């Protein structure tokens, strides 16, 4: 069980503000805000897929793509350099018409799996209490992205779903996600892992399919002082079938979004929670994490390994992109069983 303690194990190494990001394929040029990015690393550059906001009227998001040399992070020039980005995922379907939010990226062979939260056609309709947000799975291959799967619309008791990524292991695909459900007349939020039962059908189809999910292999609920929890970053495999990731929690005592470590084993239809950090390992401490569109937020969404370190990309106060670094062996020691 985690305790309500917090220690900082991540060194802040960069911040990217929206006025230094220039959209190359839209007259918008600079976004209003840019945050909660997916992350990849090609050996030279950090590949960042941020959530991009054009304006505040409906707060509709698209997803961009930009390259930031790792050397810019290491020498500190990331804090004042300008970068070119392009929009790669637009809100244009019934399952994401009001926004494409908070992408996460995992590898599947030579392809990227990008999972984001779609604000569906029901999002702004107060009479609808189902399918308000849905995980959307997209495949990136040869610089082309196609949307291939969404969560089914007609699942009883499911109000919304988000904070998702897909992990493919031994030809089985798993959706890590955060359902918002009604159980026994009570609304609940929990972290879940479900197998995608029709994965082969999905990836071989020319249209966007609805995912058929197994019953959750696990349900992880908030601690008593938390309002909700959710998956943060896709994981790093630290041993065969053993993974380390960051998750987030909304601490209802101060209404801040914070992050903790989670280690788990996944093999076949078995999920084993191996441990979590004793408390939070990232909390809002810098000025840009404390103040923004949504005060007091660190929201990790990307994690990559570089030698013996890991780099995390995160949304800071729903206003800018933060980058942080930590020693991998130290993080593992915090959660090792």
Q: Summarize pLDDT for 242-288 with one digit per residue, the tens.
A: 999 999 999 999 999 999 999 999 999 999 999 999 999 999 999 99
The answer to whether residue 3 is domain-embedded is no
How many angstroms separate the CA atoms of 306 and 313, rounded?
Answer: 13
Residue 168's nearest CA partner among 106, 231, 211 is 106
The answer to whether residue 4 is domain-embedded is no
The pLDDT confidence band at residue 1, using thresholds 50, 70 and 90, is confident
The answer to whether residue 5 is domain-embedded is no
pLDDT 10s digits, 286-296:
999 999 999 99
Give residue 4's Cα distance to chain centre: 23
The answer to whether residue 2 is domain-embedded is no
The answer to whether residue 6 is domain-embedded is no
What is residue 301's predicted lDDT score, i.e. its pLDDT? 98
User: What CATH number corresponds to the domain at position 100?
Assistant: 2.115.10.20
The answer to whether residue 114 is domain-embedded is yes
Terminal Cα distance for the chain, rounded = 13
Residue 107's nearest CA partner among 156, 165, 162, 176 is 165
**CA distances in angstroms from 245 to 44, 206, 274, 285, 303, listed in the order given:** 23, 32, 12, 21, 8
pLDDT 10s digits, 55-105:
999 999 999 999 999 999 999 999 999 999 999 999 999 999 999 999 999
Range of the domain at 178: 11-335
The answer to whether residue 252 is domain-embedded is yes
pLDDT 10s digits, 161-212:
999 999 999 999 999 999 999 988 899 999 999 999 999 999 999 999 999 9
Average pLDDT over residues 114-135: 97
The answer to whether residue 1 is domain-embedded is no
Count of domains observed in the chain = 1
């Amino acid at each position: 069980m985690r305790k309500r303690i917090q220690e900082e194990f991540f060194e802040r190494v960069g911040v990217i503000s929206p006025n230094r990001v220039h959209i190359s394929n839209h007259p918008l040029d600079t976004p209003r805000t840019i945050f909660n990015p997916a992350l990849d690393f090609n050996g030279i550059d950090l590949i960042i897929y941020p959530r991009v906001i054009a304006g505040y009227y409906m707060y509709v998001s698209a997803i961009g793509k930009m390259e930031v040399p790792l050397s810019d992070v290491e020498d500190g020039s990331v804090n004042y350099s300008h970068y070119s980005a392009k929009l790669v995922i637009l809100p244009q379907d019934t399952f994401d018409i009001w926004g494409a939010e908070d992408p996460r990226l995992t590898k599947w062979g030579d392809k990227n799996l990008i999972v984001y939260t779609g604000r569906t056609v029901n999002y702004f309709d107060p009479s609808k209490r189902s399918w308000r947000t849905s995980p959307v799975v997209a495949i990136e291959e040869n610089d082309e992205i196609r949307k291939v799967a969404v969560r089914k619309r007609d699942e009883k008791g499911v109000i919304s779903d988000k904070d998702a990524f897909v992990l493919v292991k031994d030809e089985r695909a798993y959706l890590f996600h955060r359902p918002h459900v009604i159980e026994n007349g009570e609304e609940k939020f929990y972290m879940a892992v479900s197998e995608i039962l029709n994965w082969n059908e999905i990836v071989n189809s020319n249209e966007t399919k609805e995912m058929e999910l197994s019953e959750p292999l696990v349900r992880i609920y908030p601690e008593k002082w938390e309002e909700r929890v959710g998956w943060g970053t896709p994981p790093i495999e630290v041993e065969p079938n053993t993974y380390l990731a960051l998750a987030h929690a909304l601490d209802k005592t101060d209404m801040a979004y914070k992050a903790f470590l989670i280690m788990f084993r996944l093999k076949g239809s078995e999920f084993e929670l191996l441990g979590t950090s004793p408390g939070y390992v990232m909390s809002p401490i810098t000025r840009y994490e404390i103040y923004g569109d949504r005060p007091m937020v660190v929201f990790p969404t990307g994690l990559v390994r570089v030698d013996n370190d890991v780099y995390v990309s995160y949304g800071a106060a729903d206003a800018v992109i933060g980058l942080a670094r930590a020693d991998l062996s130290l993080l593992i020691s915090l959660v090792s069983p």
